[in-house]
Structure 1
Amino acid sequence: MDFSLLNIAILLVLGAIAGVINVLAGGGSNLTLPALMLMGLPADVANASNRVGVFFQALVGVRGFQKHNKLETTEIVPILIPTLVGGVVGAVLASFLPEQWLKPLLLLTMLGMTFLMIIKPSAIVVESGTVAKKVSQSSMGWWSLFFAGIYGGFVQAGVGFVLIAALAGSLNYDLVRANALKLVCTLAFTSVALLVFIWQSQVNWSAGIILGIGAMAGAQVGVKLALNISPQHLKWFLFWMTLFGVIAALTY
């Protein structure tokens, strides 16, 4: 990979943009992954190196939401249990099922999320004053997180949208708190995946760290925007990001 000043600048800028997108919604990797591959990295190395940026972006995002008391720390473990169990199931399925299943599943999920936000906006934006449910109080919430985990373990791309639907739609979290908990799940997913990629020596650390620096800056901006933007504007941002995910799934 050519680490010219131009390529470094592109990675920093795209990392920052992806950091904002991933904190507010999801799908930032639709920008960074193609860029890494266009710069000469093989698909598997690009995928692994991209997780470095995702890891640091999620770390900064979680810390930012926690600092502003928007992270439900008592629910982290109950939320992670079904999500990670589902992630293991999804990873196992991915190892047995043909790779050709990945793109249709990604496309169907993105389309489903787009139509859900048009037909039933309440599934994403809860009414003001609605009390969030604990995972132990909602079997639907547990299973929603479990299936989000399966999807994340199987595909990974777009899992942020599925997690938001589970956290906001099933457990009644507002979008700010749902995004905070989504980032916790993302951090857990990514940490496990990154360890595997490091073990397989697939990470290009130079590219990953440059991307990570940009992603951390973007995550800080994303947290500030999430705290100040209205739920309706955030919902529409989420909508356009899922639509962009559909276009990306059709293109790649």
Structure 2
Amino acid sequence: MTLFDGALVAFAGLLCGIVNSIAGGGSLILFPALLGTGMSSLSANVTNSVATWPGYLGGVVGFRDEIRSQRKRLPPLVVATLAGSTVGCVLLLVTPEGAFDVVVPFLVLFASGLTALQPWAKRRMAKGAATGERPSRAAVGGIFVAALYGGYFGGALGVIIVGVLGLTVHDTFRRLNAGKSLLSLVDASVSVTVFGLFGPVEWQFAAVAAPSTLLGGFLGAKVAKRLDEKVLRACVVGFGVLVSIYLLIRAL
């Protein structure tokens, strides 16, 4: 790892943490930065999954009170997340790298689209009323599919989970966002375990990016009220579209 590569990944990790804290979709910044170091798309994907784990942990700590108040709802969703993420990780590891190179541009484009739709999910959740009921089958099934995607790719996973919860659970945005933080951490923990044991993780880059994503998450929480979330989200979405076009051209 050159000094330039280390600085690039550290800076991208910092931005990733900030964007995840404010708008979501930060992986769309770190993933292409890892590709920029010459890493293969598969290695960049699994390294990205490992490096973003600390940021999810920080989110859970920040929402610990809201998470404790959802003891009836969250356990079935955690189980669904564990199952879905495990299946997704295994599918990724058995996918030939050439096939993944073809699929990944469309995954990045899909993640960018979901990031663009996040305000709609927020408005949908804001209409809910707090409840402590157990989740419906639709919620459990939706979270399983979201976690499967998270285990396979992971870009904009938080946005997907927010959307699923917004459609299937009636509650306040803050409480559902807290649940999203816990489920994202569970998904990321499975990815760290599976990819750490069996995946081509570039550990030197993960060691550089992980603390910077954690720092970015804290900074993002501090400056969230001062930034225009719409502008930041538009930048992330536009960047994601450009990355997907570049990856598609490279795969062809």
TM-score for the superposition, normalised by structure 2: 0.76
> Residue 145 of structure 2 aligns with which residue?
147
> Would the aligned equivalents of 2:54 and 2:213 in 1 still touch at CA under 8 Å?
yes
CA positional deviation for 1:161: 1.6
Secondary structure of the corresponding residue to residue 134 of structure 2: helix
Secondary structure of the corresponding residue to residue 124 of structure 1: helix
1:182-216 superposed Cα distances (whole Å, 9 cap, x missing partner): 23222222222222222237333332122112111
Residues 167 and 214 (structure 1), Cα distance of their counterparts in 2 relative to 1, 3 Å cut:
same
The amino acid of 2:167's aligned partner reads G
Taking the aligned partners of 1:59 and 1:168, their CA distance within structure 2 comes to 22
Where do 1:99-248 residues align within 5 Å? 99=100, 100-108=102-110, 110-111=112-113, 114=116, 116=117, 121=120, 123-126=121-124, 130-134=128-132, 136-200=134-198, 202-225=200-223, 228=225, 241-242=236-237, 244-248=239-243
Structure 2 residue 48 is the aligned partner of structure 1 residue 63 = no
Taking the aligned partners of 1:213 and 1:143, their CA distance within structure 2 comes to 33
1:44-95 superposed Cα distances (whole Å, 9 cap, x missing partner): 33333333320111112221232xx343552432321223323344445554
> Residue 251 of structure 1 aligns with which residue?
246
1:8-60 superposed Cα distances (whole Å, 9 cap, x missing partner): 43333221110011233432222222222322434333333333320111112
1:125-161 superposed Cα distances (whole Å, 9 cap, x missing partner): 2465732455724333222212212322333222222
Residues 209 and 179 (structure 1), Cα distance of their counterparts in 2 relative to 1, 3 Å cut:
farther
RMSD of aligned alpha carbons: 3.4
Q: Which moved more, 1:189-198 or 1:237-246?
A: 237-246
> Residue 31 of structure 2 aligns with which residue?
33
CA positional deviation for 1:112: 5.9
Q: Aligned residues, how many?
A: 241
Residues 147 and 50 (structure 1), Cα distance of their counterparts in 2 relative to 1, 3 Å cut:
closer
* Percent of aligned pairs sharing the same letter: 26
Unaligned residue ranges in structure 2 (runs of 5+)? 248-252
Residues 93 and 48 (structure 1), Cα distance of their counterparts in 2 relative to 1, 3 Å cut:
closer
> Residue 250 of structure 2 aligns with which residue?
none
Q: Which moved more, 1:148-157 or 1:99-108?
A: 99-108
Residues 220 and 41 (structure 1), Cα distance of their counterparts in 2 relative to 1, 3 Å cut:
same
> Would the aligned equivalents of 2:24 and 2:115 in 1 still touch at CA under 8 Å?
no
> Residue 9 of structure 2 aligns with which residue?
11
Q: Which moved more, 1:204-213 or 1:173-182?
A: 173-182
Unaligned residue ranges in structure 1 (runs of 5+)? none
The amino acid of 1:251's aligned partner reads Y
The amino acid of 2:122's aligned partner reads I
Taking the aligned partners of 1:113 and 1:207, their CA distance within structure 2 comes to 25
Residues 187 and 248 (structure 1), Cα distance of their counterparts in 2 relative to 1, 3 Å cut:
same
Taking the aligned partners of 2:12 and 2:103, their CA distance within structure 1 comes to 28
TM-score for the superposition, normalised by structure 1: 0.76
> Residue 82 of structure 1 aligns with which residue?
80
Residues 199 and 108 (structure 1), Cα distance of their counterparts in 2 relative to 1, 3 Å cut:
closer
> Would the aligned equivalents of 1:111 and 1:243 in 2 still touch at CA under 8 Å?
no
Taking the aligned partners of 1:27 and 1:136, their CA distance within structure 2 comes to 28
- Pairing partner for 1:21 from 11, 19, 22: 19
Residues 36 and 171 (structure 1), Cα distance of their counterparts in 2 relative to 1, 3 Å cut:
same
